[in-house]
Amino acid sequence: MTSTTQRTQSRRKEHGVISRLFGKVNGKRDILVPYFNFHRVLKGELESKILKEIFRLRYEVYCLERNFLDGNDFNCGMESDDFDDCSIHFAAYTLTDEIIGTVRLVQPGVDRPFPFASHCQSFPEFALPHPDQAAEISRLVVRKTFRRRRGDSMEGISQDFMEKGKTEKIQPRTAMQRDKRGNSPLLLLGLYREMFRYSRQNDIRYWYAAMERSLARSLGKMGFPFKPIGPQVDYYGPVTLFMADLDELNERLHRENKFLAAWFNDEPIPFWIMAKTMASNFLESYSRKK
């Protein structure tokens, strides 16, 4: 047997092991979020069926559940605003086509302000980047039935991850881990990956987000280093204006979690990284059983 044939067979065995442990790698099921599908709605596609489902989910959370907005102000049970026409929308679905999460990136252009301008200000000494290089994350929600506990955030981050989680805990789920609503915020992570990939493909380097500091800390644990660039204000609760530099974010991911870095950048995941991740997963499961 030639060395080339041996190497080919070895790679096939490795791929088989990975597929059995973590699910399909090159098929429809994602290696880290196998129970969800993600869709994107570009600017101007206001008649999209997906966008209408996004508006209904936002109405459900913002108007009916949280009472942030008056449902009487919206027709047909769909919440929308003046920034939807200049936004890229992202939606998460179950494998049975139920929408369960959404977020948008707002790019209003040089002639319009970002949404945060109506309720937040940056520090006077902070120089905002050019609008063409930036987008604002907003309208981030996860359906209530896909939050595990009462203390989970509206954005789908579980309470125990907020208290104990860290980047290294975000790993592919093995065949032994069938809980579709696990402690790691995988659904939220999938939405952020979709935004990250779109941003890298379209020369967006900076993200703004007006959010609670607890959410920013949780996102930092996931590998998203948001920095405060403005004072805290009261806007349906205390929020602070944050910004993330995607170049810094990408460098941090490659430094701290090579598996997550490859997954975010749609790069091949080397077998040694998969093996290391698998071993870490096994040891953590073993220690919990002791």
Q: Which residues contact 135 (CB under 8 A, 6 or more apart)?
A: 88, 105, 106, 107, 199, 204, 206, 207, 208
Q: Say whether pLDDT at 99 is over 90.
A: yes
**From 55-59, 157-161, 200-204, the region with the lowest mean pLDDT:** 157-161
Task: Kindly state the average pLDDT of the residues 206-229.
Answer: 91
Q: Say whether pLDDT at 288 is over 70.
A: no
Distance CA 104, CA 54 (A): 10
DSSP 56-105: HHHIIIIIIIS-SS-GGGSSTT----TTGGGEEEEEEEETTS-EEEEEEE
Distance CA 167, CA 155 (A): 18
Q: Which residues contact 227 (CB under 8 A, 6 or more apart)?
A: 242, 243, 244
Q: Which of 148, 177, 174, 172 is nearest to 161 (CA)?
A: 148
Structure tokens at 187: 């659904």
Task: Kindly state the average pLDDT of the residues 110-123.
Answer: 94
Task: Kindly state the average pLDDT of the residues 169-191.
Answer: 58
pLDDT digits (tens, 9 = 90+) for 121-142: 999 999 999 999 999 999 999 9
174 or 92, which is more confident?
A: 92
DSSP bridge partners of 99: 93
pLDDT score recorded for residue 185: 73
Q: Which of 99, 47, 54, 106 is nearest to 77 (CA)?
A: 54
pLDDT score recorded for residue 201: 96
pLDDT score recorded for residue 186: 82
Structure tokens at 1: 């047997």
Distance CA 124, CA 139 (A): 26
- Looking at domain 29-289, its CATH architecture is 3-Layer(aba) Sandwich (3.40)
Q: Say whether pLDDT at 98 is over 60.
A: yes
DSSP bridge partners of 137: 105
Q: Say whether pLDDT at 277 is over 50.
A: yes
pLDDT score recorded for residue 102: 97
Kindly list the domain boundaries of the chain, sorted by start residue: 29-289
